[in-house]
Structure formats: structure tokens, C-alpha cells
């Protein structure tokens, strides 16, 4: 099973990609074969003073995904995702979750080699 996670402002494929990774509202986990989804609420990370990206990376890793699609990822979160073997596709803000997934499925998402947001 090939599963990916997308930062999302809501629980459905038609919600917008949340540009933030660590403080995203949540993650839509998508099975690429069936397009079945599961929503992971990221509310606890939103209120953390520090470590939101690392906390969010742990949530995504526990979901068993191979890739994360998002807008921006900081260096600590990028390192945590990489350590968990999760590829990162960035700069997908402004799209719906469905559009981001379709781009990924048609190889139109470049896998990042580094974070695209400075750390705090």
C-alpha cells in the first residue's frame, strides 16, 4: 500500500493544502491506489511554543506514509521527516489536497533535498 500525507486546512480532498507543516490544522492521509482517506488532527502541535514540526513529523511517521506534501517545512522538521524515511514535496500551497495528490501521482512534484523555511 502506498500512502502519502498532505497538510490540510480540513479533513477532505477538497480542502486546501495548509502551507504550514508543523502548525498545519491536520493531515489527510491518502491511499494512492484507492484514494481512500484518513484525517489526522494536528491541533496539539498548533499550540506548542516550540517543537511543533518535530511533533507533526512523529504523527506523520506513525501514519506509515512514504511522502508528505505541503507548503513549507523548517529544518528541524525536515530532518525528522528524512530520518523517518519520508520524502517531502514542498511549495504546494494554494492547491486543494486532491490537486496536490494528482500532481504527485503524475510525477509533477519535485522531492525536496532541504527545508524551504528558516528555523525559529
Q: What is the torsion angle, in degrees rounded to the nearest 10, for the CA atoms of residue 53, residue 54, residue 55 and residue 57?
A: 90
**58-81 pLDDT, tens per residue?**
999 999 999 999 999 999 999 999
Return d(Cα 81, Cα 61) in angstroms, integer. 7
| pLDDT level of residue 119 (50, 70, 90 thresholds) | low
For domain 3-105, which CATH number applies: 3.40.50.720, 3.30.420.130, 3.40.30.10, 2.120.10.30? 3.30.420.130
| pLDDT level of residue 94 (50, 70, 90 thresholds) | very high
pLDDT above 70 (res 45): no
Order of all β-strands in the sheet with 87-89: 37-41, 26-31, 3-8, 67-69, 87-89
Return d(Cα 50, Cα 36) in angstroms, integer. 33
Q: How far is CA 78 from the centre of its chain?
A: 11
Amino acid at each position: 500500500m502506498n500512502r502519502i500525507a498532505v497538510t490540510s486546512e480540513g479533513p477532505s480532498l477538497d480542502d486546501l493544502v495548509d502551507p504550514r507543516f508543523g502548525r498545519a490544522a491536520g493531515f489527510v492521509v491518502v491511499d494512492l491506489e484507492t484514494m481512500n482517506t484518513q484525517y489526522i488532527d494536528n491541533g496539539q502541535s498548533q499550540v506548542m511554543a516550540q517543537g511543533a514540526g518535530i511533533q507533526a513529523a512523529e504523527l506523520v511517521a506513525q501514519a506509515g506514509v512514504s511522502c508528505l506534501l505541503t507548503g513549507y517545512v523548517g529544518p528541524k522538521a525536515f530532518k525528522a521527516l528524512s530520518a523517518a524515511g519520508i520524502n517531502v514535496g514542498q511549495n504546494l500551497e494554494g492547491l486543494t489536497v486532491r490537486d496536490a495528490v494528482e500532481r504527485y501521482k503524475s510525477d509533477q512534484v519535485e522531492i525536496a533535498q532541504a527545508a524551504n523555511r528558516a528555523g525559529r
